[in-house]
Amino acid sequence: MGRGKYARPTRRPAVVTGASSGIGAATALALAAAGHPVALGARRVEKLDELAARIREEGGEVAVAPLDVTQAEPDRPDSVQAFGASVTAALGDIEVVVSNAGAVAPGTVHEVDSDRFARELDLNITGAHRLVREFVPAMVARRRGDVVFVSSDVAVRARPFMSSYAAGKWGLEGMAHAMQMELEGTGVRASIVRPGPTWSEMGSDWDVDEAAAVLNAWVRFGLARHGHFMKPQAIADAIATVVAAPRGVHINLVEVSPEAPIDDPAEDA
Ligand SMILES: NC(=O)c1ccc[n+]([C@@H]2O[C@H](COP(=O)([O-])OP(=O)(O)OC[C@H]3O[C@@H](n4cnc5c(N)ncnc54)[C@H](OP(=O)(O)O)[C@@H]3O)[C@@H](O)[C@H]2O)c1
């Protein structure tokens, strides 16, 4: 533990939601490698167990608990609260929360069923808020903590045919910006990491023809200037950097984009 009002323990347990694949899995590995005990949450517990085994083999400390950040049925036991109790019992006070769980489905605004639209907002915005409710009050009481919201470049450049996702990430960033002001002076840092296109399981459940139509629409609107995607590690590295910022520094927002393919001068000649 450091000294004075900037005191922070060296052991900083971290929650990662959506840790069963893609960016969340890479983030859990990156935080474990940086010395954080990590709590893995998602619905596919068997995937979390596989990742946990790998983290333990590499000498890390890890806990797994099932997590569904949505609340589709009002009378269902609260999954986020149960997750919070389980991982806090296993690892101790949670110092870092990476709100990463999310999903996107294709659709045209005026054709998408409003219930589906609402379910997607529930996952992408309210799901993040449920985590905030579960973990941030204790962080504020302790006068330290990091919350990282995984947003998307659609939050500032909406893409067609994924409107509730764009609305969700736009809303998520609105909530995060308000929170940054509300948390000022509490010692708790809320940050946004905003990825561009990244290889993951996202979109792998889409119909192939529908996916092709959506990608072509992106090109038509100038939203896919090149075809490069990042590896999830790129986003995990950004999240680890945000969390590792020393006391007295707050990395509010990081946008991470795939670098464009390098022009071949021979082709310009
Ligand atoms: N890939 C991209 O191009 C891209 C770009 C910008 C932003 N992002 C953002 O990055 C984040 C991670 O996505 P990804 O690309 O890594 O996709 P991914 O591989 O599909 O991972 C999504 C994760 O979210 C979890 N999840 C979904 N619904 C959940 C729920 N109700 N409760 C708990 N966990 C849930 C999934 O786990 P289970 O299915 O096991 O629950 C999975 O682990 C998302 O917020 C996404 O919006 C991705």
Residue 131 within any structural domain of the chain: yes
Please give the structure tokens belonging to residue 134.
């579960």
Which atom in ligand 1 lies closest to the alpha carbon of residue 199?
1
* Total domain count, the chain: 1
Please give the structure tokens belonging to residue 246.
């020393």
pLDDT at position 76: 77
Q: Which domain holds residue 198?
A: 8-256
pLDDT at position 186: 97
Residues 6+ positions from 186 with CB-CB distance below 8 Å: 139, 140, 143
Residue 58 within any structural domain of the chain: yes
Residue 157 within any structural domain of the chain: yes
Q: Which amino acid makes up residue 265?
A: P
For atom 11 of ligand 1, which residue has the closest CA? Answer: 100
Per-residue pLDDT of the chain (269 residues; tens, 9 = 90+): 545 666 788 899 999 999 999 999 999 999 999 999 999 999 999 999 999 999 999 999 999 999 999 976 777 779 999 999 999 999 999 999 999 999 999 999 999 999 999 999 999 999 999 999 999 999 999 999 999 999 999 999 999 999 899 999 999 999 999 999 999 999 999 999 999 999 999 989 999 998 899 889 988 998 888 889 999 999 999 999 999 999 999 999 999 999 999 988 887 66
3-state secondary structure the chain: CCCHHHCCCCCCCEEEECCCCHHHHHHHHHHHHCCCCEEEEECCHHHHHHHHHHHHHCCCCEEEEECCCCCCCCCCCCHHHHHHHHHHHHHCCCCEEEECCCCCCCECCCCCCHHHHHHHHHHHHHHHHHHHHHHHHHHHHHCCEEEEEECCHHHCCCCCCEHHHHHHHHHHHHHHHHHHHHCCCCCEEEEEEEECCECCCCCCCCCHHHHHHHHHHHHHCCCCCCCCCECHHHHHHHHHHHHHCCCCCCCCEEEECCCCCCCCHHHHC
Integer Cα distance of 217 and 260 in angstroms = 19
Residue 261 within any structural domain of the chain: no
Residue 83 within any structural domain of the chain: yes
pLDDT at position 72: 63
Looking up residue 79, the CATH number of its domain turns out to be 3.40.50.720
Output the CA 100–ligand 1 centroid distance in Å: 6
pLDDT at position 4: 64
Residue 263 within any structural domain of the chain: no
Residue 267 within any structural domain of the chain: no
Residue 268 within any structural domain of the chain: no
Which atom in ligand 1 lies closest to the alpha carbon of residue 232?
16
Output the CA 153–ligand 1 centroid distance in Å: 15
For atom 36 of ligand 1, which residue has the closest CA? Answer: 18
Mutation choice for ligand 1 from 16, 17, 21, 199, CB with most ligand atoms inside 8 A? 21
